[in-house]
Structure 1
Amino acid sequence: MRIGIIGAMNEEIIELKSVMNNIEEECIGNLSFFKGELKGKEVVLVECGIGKVNGAICATFMKSHFNVDMLLFTGVAGGVNPDINIGDIVIATDLVEHDFDTTAFGYELGQIPRMAEYKFKTDETLRDIAYDCAVKAFGEAKVWKGRIVSGDQFIASPDKIKWLKEIFDGYCTEMEGAAVAHVCYTFNLPFLVIRAISDKADDDAKVDYPEFVKLAAKNSKTIIEGILERL
């Protein structure tokens, strides 16, 4: 079994890379993929870069070049559900591209024309394992399962948070997950997206984000390690 792991930023993968064994680097273009072992499993780890296109590129390489059997995306996000706090964990049930808009043709916001699905569902088994691991590590009150919404926007507006909650019932928002989910749906590749909350996506987001991103990344690492131990 080979498992792909993606994070958007160095802060989101450095913790995992630090505990990998037998690392070999393979470069494709300007991307560095790190092959090795983690918790006794064969893994491929990459920092994809920020945004949906970067996420989709790396997810595609994970399947087409490295032929991974499943894909995990880990990192940080801004909270949308008002009950979710900084440091909490959101395990995606499904993901939607909130900035995809063809409503002029009668489609719903987020809906992708001529595709059978646009609410991309995560793998149920991976989701359940991740939830169990997260609850054991952080307590049930800090772990959530729900929809993650993605777009090429850093959200720092109370009005936009309200909109994402009302329109999509989003739990948190970030910039890559739904694009990775879109690729995995296309390739029929089991996947899961896990996000630790680094900010509340409001007026204080720019202040909160740098302070909490490293802590949130450590929390995500704990869950990824737990998942690998259970697979």
Structure 2
Amino acid sequence: MIGIIGAMEMEVAGLIAALEEPEPAVCCGQPFTSGRLGGVPVVVAKCGAGKVNAAMCAAAMVLRYAPSLVVSTGVAGGIGPDVKIGDLVVATHAVQYDYDTTAIGEPLAAVDVGGTVMAELPTSERHNAILAQYAAEIYSGVHRGVIATGDRFVADPNFCAALREEFGAVACEMETGAIAHVCAANRTAFCGLRAISDNANDDGKVDFLTFARDSAEKCIALLKASAAALENA
């Protein structure tokens, strides 16, 4: 089974609508819908924005459904030099950029994952390769790189530059790093897939409102196309 998590209705509604034999359920206060996507067993959830909501949803999903793969999907701000609105990003790893214990000598963004301290939260390379392959067949503008997660809607070019310099990030958003954290702790394969809705700059709010829905639909179409290959990886 594949688990798919998006923060907003527009990021998951198309997937839920496409499910065969949908079965709604609630676990730990979080609504889920399971079913089949092109014959592939999946469970889809809208978690709400931010790291806490994302982590709560991911933990409940792993507890209730034990998926073999979890995908964080939706939109993000593009901060890489060649990353444009409408492009897709497949995460090589994720970081929680606003987790800071450097005052006690630990690296920036280094979180405790089941007793192991790590800043780079892993993704599944074999599943990443499938997403990137299918994305390239459907769309132009496909990137693989670091997704930076924090509880902030970034609309500041100076902050974007800091994320690029510190982490090599190509996109920023509010959920992927938290879901990656939960998956790493539970040894569940994970992918982060994001479509760029804005460039996280002074025009970020306007661009987001203009392009978010179309960008989210790109991720939905890609997951529909690649579900069988992801399940069999």
If the length of structure 2 is used for normalisation, what is the TM-score? 0.95
Which residue of 2 is the match for residue 42 of structure 1? 41
Q: Which moved more, 1:201-210 or 1:113-122?
A: 113-122
1:82 positional shift: 2.1
Aligned identity (percent) is 37
Aligned residues: 228
**Distance in 2 of aligned mates of 1:124 and 1:227:** 15
**Residue aligned with 2:106, SS:** coil
> Do 2:12 and 2:46's aligned partners in 1 also have CA atoms closer than 8 Å?
yes
Change (3 A) 1:63 1:143: same
> Do 2:5 and 2:73's aligned partners in 1 also have CA atoms closer than 8 Å?
yes
Q: What amino acid is aligned across from residue 45 of structure 1 in structure 2?
A: V
Which residue of 2 is the match for residue 83 of structure 1? 82
Which residue of 1 is the match for residue 136 of structure 2? 135
If the length of structure 1 is used for normalisation, what is the TM-score? 0.96
CA deviation string 1:179-206 (max 9, x = no partner) = 1000100000001010000000000001
Which residue of 2 is the match for residue 190 of structure 1? 189
> Runs of 4+ in structure 1 displaced over 3 angstroms?
none
CA deviation string 1:52-93 (max 9, x = no partner) = 011111111111111111111110000111210000000000
> Do 2:108 and 2:119's aligned partners in 1 also have CA atoms closer than 8 Å?
no
**Distance in 2 of aligned mates of 1:118 and 1:188:** 16
1:121 positional shift: 1.5
1:29 positional shift: 4.7
1:227 positional shift: 2.0
Which residue of 2 is the match for residue 117 of structure 1? 118
> Do 2:107 and 2:119's aligned partners in 1 also have CA atoms closer than 8 Å?
no
CA deviation string 1:162-182 (max 9, x = no partner) = 111111110100000001000
**Gaps in structure 1 of 5+ consecutive residues:** none
CA deviation string 1:13-60 (max 9, x = no partner) = 011112111111102354210011101111111000100011111111
1:115 positional shift: 2.6
**Residue aligned with 1:65, SS:** helix
Which residue of 1 is the match for residue 64 of structure 2? 65
Which residue of 2 is the match for residue 33 of structure 1? 32
**Distance in 2 of aligned mates of 1:30 and 1:213:** 27
Which residue of 2 is the match for residue 126 of structure 1? 127
**Distance in 2 of aligned mates of 1:28 and 1:79:** 33
